[in-house]
């Protein structure tokens, strides 16, 4: 075998090699001889067919196998001898007299940039009693009950109303309903519409005008004014459950009452805050890492990642009930995301291998136990992880990612920012 290696543009390389045809022919004959010992051909007992007939039947197939094996072996030897790290799959092309070319990409050589220039703003969050109070209020509202009242409707009441709207004296699509349920103040309908219902009692009717905003989603109504005739059918007042031991029990806390409930809520909020802080910090650290260390990304790996993202997106849409024929997605939609994922994967692998970062068992166990605390039976969840090597590998991967982020933060410019829990959660008004 003879071989040469060419450096093309960027990460592309080409190997030119020629297989020894005498060795190929010898191997073909050897394999045909093995086949001849057992093969059954019409008119001959097993293993008694003439070699010429065996060759006529099987020589083409066997030669293809031998050439493929020889090519893979020869290519592997060239790659090993030249210490080339192949990214993706090579593209082989056959020439004449045993000549082949293999075109492929290599992994980039990565040299980390100045990590000290990476800037990270790290939220610092303390879960307060007020945060717990707000969460309890949300839980109470999720369990709200309504009872009929004879007074005028006010904000927070659930009402049922008949209405019919006209524009210029003509009805319009969506402008009529019977026994329409509505909680006043929730903003499900236009503010002017809800506001006009406040003060009405069951059985009362009235007419009022409502102006649709210029940016209203129904373009045919945007900027127009409708006149509604409405009849209040019923008014129901909201009744929230009291925060007592029964309420705590309804939340799954059967011992310790309200105090234990508040403790568990605070713990859950703390875990969620920690998760979101890590997500924000990781995003900033990864962005800084990409900006500080530019390098060529193997296009073949990007293409594979792109196809994987497309397949996942299609499967997600199908799981939501969409027909495959109605899903119009192309790989180009995922180009930027795929390139980023591949680049970050290469950078993280480089950092892990260069610095011997590991996910030790204690860290993995702590992460799994933290996951389990959100469930009624933490022990069962821990067992679920440790029963399946794939699930445990996912946990190890998360720990390793966190260790990379920690390594980066030790070298970056990190500013701690006191942050309210509502702001971190994206609920700040």
- pLDDT tens string 301-334: 999 999 999 999 999 999 999 888 888 899 999 9
Q: What is the pLDDT of residue 225?
A: 96
Asked if 160 and 148 count as a contact pair (C-beta separation under 8 A), the reply is no
Q: How far is Cα 305 from Cα 344, in angstroms, rounded to an integer?
A: 12
Residue 296 in tokens? 């060529």
Kindly report each contact of residues 193-199 with a partner whose C-beta sits within 8 Å and lies 24 or more positions away, as own/partner: 193/228, 196/228, 196/230, 197/153, 197/159, 197/161, 197/230, 197/232, 198/152, 198/153, 198/154, 198/155, 199/152, 199/153, 199/154
Q: How far is Cα 236 from Cα 239, in angstroms, rounded to an integer?
A: 9
Q: How far is Cα 121 from Cα 115, in angstroms, rounded to an integer?
A: 15
Q: What is the pLDDT of residue 180?
A: 97
Q: How far is Cα 291 from Cα 232, in angstroms, rounded to an integer?
A: 61
Q: What is the pLDDT of residue 43?
A: 80
Residue 336 in tokens? 């930027």
C-alpha pair distances (Å), 232 with each of 175, 204, 256, 258: 16, 6, 45, 39
Q: What is the pLDDT of residue 1?
A: 67
Asked if 1 and 74 count as a contact pair (C-beta separation under 8 A), the reply is yes
For residue 320, give the DSSP letter.
T
Length of the chain: 429
**Residue 171's closest CA among 115, 211, 229?**
229
Could you read off the pLDDT of 175-199 as tens digits, one per residue? 999 999 999 999 999 999 999 999 9
Residues of the chain with pLDDT under 70: 1, 427-429
- Rg over alpha carbons for the chain, rounded to the nearest Å, is 35
Asked if 160 and 234 count as a contact pair (C-beta separation under 8 A), the reply is yes
| Sign of the dihedral defined by the CA atoms of residues 62, 63, 64, 66, in that order | positive
Q: What is the dihedral of CA 284, 289, 292, 298, to 10 degrees?
A: -130
Asked if 34 and 47 count as a contact pair (C-beta separation under 8 A), the reply is no
Q: What is the pLDDT of residue 427?
A: 62
Q: How far is CA 36 from the centre of its chain?
A: 55
What is the CA angle 335-341-343, rounded to 5? 100
What is the CA angle 224-225-229, rounded to 5? 140
């Amino acid at each position: 075998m003879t071989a040469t290696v060419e450096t093309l543009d960027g990460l592309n390389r080409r190997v030119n090699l020629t297989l020894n045809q005498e060795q190929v022919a010898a191997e073909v004959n050897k394999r045909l001889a093995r086949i001849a010992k057992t093969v059954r051909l019409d008119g001959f007992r097993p293993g008694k067919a003439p070699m010429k007939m065996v060759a006529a039947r099987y020589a083409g197939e066997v030669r293809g196998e031998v050439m493929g094996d020889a090519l893979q072996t020869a290519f592997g030897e060239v790659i090993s001898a030249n210490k080339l790290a192949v990214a993706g799959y090579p593209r082989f092309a056959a020439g004449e007299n045993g000549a082949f070319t293999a075109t492929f990409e290599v992994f980039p050589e990565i040299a980390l940039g100045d990590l000290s220039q990476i800037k990270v703003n790290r939220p610092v969050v303390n879960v307060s009693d007020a945060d717990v109070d707000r969460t309890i209020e949300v839980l109470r509202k999720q369990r709200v009950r309504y009872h009929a009242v004879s007074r005028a409707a006010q904000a927070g009441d659930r009402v049922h109303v008949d209405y019919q709207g006209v524009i210029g004296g003509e009805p319009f699509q969506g402008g009529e309903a019977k026994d329409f349920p509505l909680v006043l103040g929730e903003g499900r309908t236009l503010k002017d519409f809800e506001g006009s219902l406040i003060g009405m009692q069951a059985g009362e009717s009235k007419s009022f005008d409502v102006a649709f905003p210029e940016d209203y989603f129904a373009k045919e109504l945007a900027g127009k004014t409708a006149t509604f005739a409405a009849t209040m059918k019923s008014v129901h007042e909201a009744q929230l459950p009291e925060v007592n031991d029964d309420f705590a029990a309804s939340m799954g806390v059967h011992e310790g009452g309200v105090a234990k409930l508040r403790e568990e809520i605070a713990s859950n909020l703390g875990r969620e805050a920690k998760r979101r802080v890590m997500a924000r910090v990781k995003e900033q650290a990864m962005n800084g890492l990409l900006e500080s260390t530019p390098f060529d990304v193997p296009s073949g790996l990007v293409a594979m990642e792109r196809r994987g993202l497309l397949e996942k997106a299609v499967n997600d849409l199908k799981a939501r009930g969409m027909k495959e024929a109605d899903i119009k997605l192309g790989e180009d939609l995922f180009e930027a995301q795929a390139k980023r994922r591949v680049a970050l994967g290469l950078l993280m692998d480089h950092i892990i291998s260069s610095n011997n970062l590991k996910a030790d068992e204690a860290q993995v166990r702590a992460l799994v136990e933290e996951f389990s605390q959100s469930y009624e039976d933490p022990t069962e969840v821990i067992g679920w992880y440790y029963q399946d090597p794939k699930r445990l590998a996912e946990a190890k991967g998360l720990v390793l990612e966190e260790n990379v982020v920690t390594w980066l933060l030790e070298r970056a410019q990190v500013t701690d920012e006191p942050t309210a829990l509502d702001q971190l959660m994206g609920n700040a008004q």
